[in-house]
Amino acid sequence: MEPLATCRQREAPSNTVTPALSTALKHNFGFDSFRPGQEEIVSDVLAGRDLLAIMPTGGGKSLCFQLPAIMRPGVSIVVSPLIALMQDQIRLLQNNGIGATAINSSVDAAENAQRIGALLRGEFQLVYLAPERLLSADFLNNVLPALRAGIGVNALVIDEAHCVSEWGHDFRPEYRQISSVRRRYPDIPVLAFTATATPRVRGDILQQLGLRNPAIHVASFNRPNLHYSVRPKDKRTYDEVLARARAADHTGIVYCLSRKRVDELTAKLREDGVAALAYHAGLDADERKRNQHAFIHDDAQVMVATIAFGMGINKHDVRWVVHYDLPKSLEGYYQESGRAGRDGDPAQCILYFGAGDIRTADFLIQQKVDSVTGEPLEDEQRQARQQLREVLSYAESSECRRALQLRYFGEQFAGPCNACDNCCNPRERVDATLPSKQFLSCVARLAQRGERFGIAHVIDILRGGQSQKLIDRGHASLSVYGIGKHLSIAEWRNLARALVHQKLVSETQDGYPVLVLNQESWSVLRGERTVSIAKAPAKSRTDASTTRAPTQAVDESLFEVLRALRKRLAQESGVPPYVIFHDATLRAMAQSRPTSLAEFAELAGVGQSKLQKYGFAFVELIRQHTEPVPQA
């Protein structure tokens, strides 16, 4: 097994793409060049190697196994966790003239049988399955042997491979059984792809799938087109979200922690004239399906959802994602905020954070109990609290947001990124040596009594609190009791988190977090060093408009009529508009104004199939829009 330390990192696009690869890329997908990292992965797949590729959302990981599937004899079997994911990729492939199908429960047995027959005849280059279908007796004992003996199987592709790992955020037990297929058919190369995986999850994927001497590609998790910000949650938060929805001419997603919040926000937005829809597990399957369809087909502007709305969504032009409540983990936040800007254009990711979120999150953690005995599930609670601490550190930090995210995935980023609130509007730094001494002195006084507590209790002592816990333990008698009344809870929390970030005090990572003095703590208490921190964020509001992307001059009126044509063609074909062309391709049309099919074929995103299907209609519309009207 190749050690993770030797993973290949994302590199600059190669200037030596082979003619065969370049031709196949343009002919089938309409692109003149690979995105960073794609060419190296495609080359390893074509060489028949086992492979693990970690590529961020919007990085083009699907093309890395789809292009080799087209270029090699036989069929690629793609394991995918959700029918919605399969359908989306199949629509895109079919619209590019590539043979692809799925065998799943969304169609009846007769239709699946017809698809299997066509598959065995070599009519498809890719077939998509859920892990349960792959592991079924009929497929393993009948279909797969027939495929290998006939047209051949060139790869077993595991999409969303983080589902293999129990340490991943979307663990699927069925995924762990895929290793039985590898043992049964060791000659078939296994390709694992996912958008997010910590080093721990990567190691688990390699082990569980039994990858042999795999090529390992870990692209950068940095998505420079996304702007990250954290804003205080208060009574004005809804008004800001409403202003954003009204100002933007593109779609957005609002993530909430509870179904109740989703329903309340959706109703309120609709009352205020926003085309908003709800999505959560409490809705029946048909309503969820209708709402998802409307959002993907541009018939709704805003989706308000719990994290149930996520992996199956492949909408490329989401311009903003708002987290109305704290996410459950940093990995989840990266995934959910990553629904924005999949087309590579700038997008906004906003997280609202208030003290009430901490109480809500802690309450939900306490609800993790055994359904039979009612006893706490201590391991699950411990892991959830650790994830909560990581999210709080992110939300309260004055450090570059991008650096914090990338560090979580084991990637170093020095910053500044110039695309987050902390980098674009750095907070004023102030001398906090005196309150730091007071805070650390309180921790020391508790330690002398053989006691250790977390941040909230220390702040309660410093502010002269009257909680029963404080009184019962006699902490009102401490010399530091009440000396910090001049600072608010928010100011003390900001100081406490800064001390933790600067490693001037330690915070345990297991169970309930408690504070422990370290060597640097004593250097502050002895007056050997000063402490500087960023001031707590002010509750000022910034412009609610979304970031607009196009940097070059574009004929906006032409762009809008092109969007209208795309929407009509999509409705006629029963596919989402982005399946026809992405916004980036429409903007390229509005900028270069091709008036011949030859010129149209040069646009990025226009392959041979789309040129034949849509070229004439778009070229004629551009001609009509740009040519002068004859004078009478």
Does residue 359 share a domain with residue 338? yes
Q: What is the CATH number of the domain that holds 439?
A: 1.10.10.10
Domain residues for 614? 556-626
Q: Which residues of 496-509 are buried (b: 16+ CB within 10 A; e: fewer)?
A: bbbbbbeebbbbee
pTM of the model: 0.75
Domain assignment present for 543: no
C-alpha dist (Å) from residue 389 to 279, 326, 361, 397, 626: 27, 11, 11, 12, 57
Count of other CB atoms within 10 angstroms of residue 616: 12
Domain assignment present for 259: yes
Place of tokens 């730091």: 436
The pairing of beta strand 515-516 with beta strand 506-507: antiparallel
Question: What residues contact 189, with CB distance under 8 A and at least 6 apart?
Answer: 45, 48, 49, 50, 51, 154, 155, 156
Domain assignment present for 611: yes
Confidence of residue 370 (pLDDT cuts 50, 70, 90): confident
Does residue 482 share a domain with residue 469? yes
Does residue 467 share a domain with residue 409? no
Q: Which runs of E-coded beta strand occur in 460-513?
A: 506-507
Question: What residues contact 241, with CB distance under 8 A and at least 6 apart?
Answer: 254, 265, 269, 322, 324
Place of tokens 């990192």: 9
Does residue 445 share a domain with residue 408? no
In this predicted structure, the answer to whether residue 629 has a pLDDT above a threshold of 60 is: no
Q: Which residues of 230-252 are buried (b: 16+ CB within 10 A; e: fewer)?
A: bbbbeeebbebbbebbeebebbb
Confidence of residue 360 (pLDDT cuts 50, 70, 90): confident
- CB-based burial of residue 69 (10 Å sphere; 0-12 exposed, 13-18 middle, 19+ buried)? buried
Is 322 in contact with 255 (CB distance < 8 Å)?
yes
Place of tokens 């090699």: 72
Domain assignment present for 47: yes
Mean pLDDT of 281-287: 88
Structure confidence by residue, pLDDT tens digits, 124-165: 999 999 899 999 999 999 999 999 999 999 999 999 888 888
Mean pLDDT of 417-437: 91
Does residue 282 share a domain with residue 318? yes
Q: What is the CATH number of the domain that holds 149?
A: 3.40.50.300
Domain final residue, candidates 483, 501, 534: 534
Does residue 525 share a domain with residue 496? yes
Predicted pLDDT of residue 47: 93
Q: How far apart (Å, rounded) are the C-alpha atoms in residues 73 and 124?
A: 11
- CB-based burial of residue 592 (10 Å sphere; 0-12 exposed, 13-18 middle, 19+ buried)? middle
Domain assignment present for 459: yes
Does residue 125 share a domain with residue 97? yes
Angle, CA 521 vertex, CA 520 and CA 524 arms, to 5°: 90
Structure confidence by residue, pLDDT tens digits, 39-67: 999 999 999 999 999 988 777 889 999 99
Does residue 475 share a domain with residue 452? yes
Q: In this structure, what DSSP letter does residue 249 have?
A: S
Confidence of residue 312 (pLDDT cuts 50, 70, 90): low
Predicted pLDDT of residue 5: 30
Average pLDDT, the chain: 86
Predicted pLDDT of residue 540: 46
Does residue 524 share a domain with residue 440? yes
Confidence of residue 169 (pLDDT cuts 50, 70, 90): low
Does residue 130 share a domain with residue 234? no
Domain assignment present for 551: no
Predicted pLDDT of residue 225: 92
Structure confidence by residue, pLDDT tens digits, 19-44: 788 889 888 988 888 988 899 999 99
Identify the CA nearest to 163 among candidates 351, 310, 46.
310
**What φ, ψ does residue 229 adopt, rounded to 5°?**
-150, 150
Q: Which two tokens stand for residue 297?
A: 């087909």
Half-sphere exposure of 194 (CA within 13 A, CB side): 25
Does residue 453 share a domain with residue 405? no
Total domains, the chain: 4
Predicted pLDDT of residue 539: 52
Domain final residue, candidates 161, 185, 218: 218
Q: Residue 353: in which H helix or E strand, if any? A: strand 347-353
Q: How far apart (Å, rounded) are the C-alpha atoms in residues 112 and 110?
A: 5
Q: State what percent of residues in the chain have pLDDT above 90.
A: 43
Predicted pLDDT of residue 6: 31
Mean pLDDT of 324-347: 89
Is 356 in contact with 371 (CB distance < 8 Å)?
no
Predicted pLDDT of residue 553: 59
Mean pLDDT of 62-81: 94
Domain assignment present for 545: no
Count of other CB atoms within 10 angstroms of residue 573: 15
Is 93 in contact with 101 (CB distance < 8 Å)?
no
Domain assignment present for 393: yes
Question: What residues contact 99, with CB distance under 8 A and at least 6 apart?
Answer: 93, 123, 124, 125, 126
Does residue 49 share a domain with residue 78? yes
Domain final residue, candidates 199, 218, 237: 218
Is 100 in contact with 90 (CB distance < 8 Å)?
yes
Identify the CA nearest to 618 among candidates 536, 601, 628, 284.
601
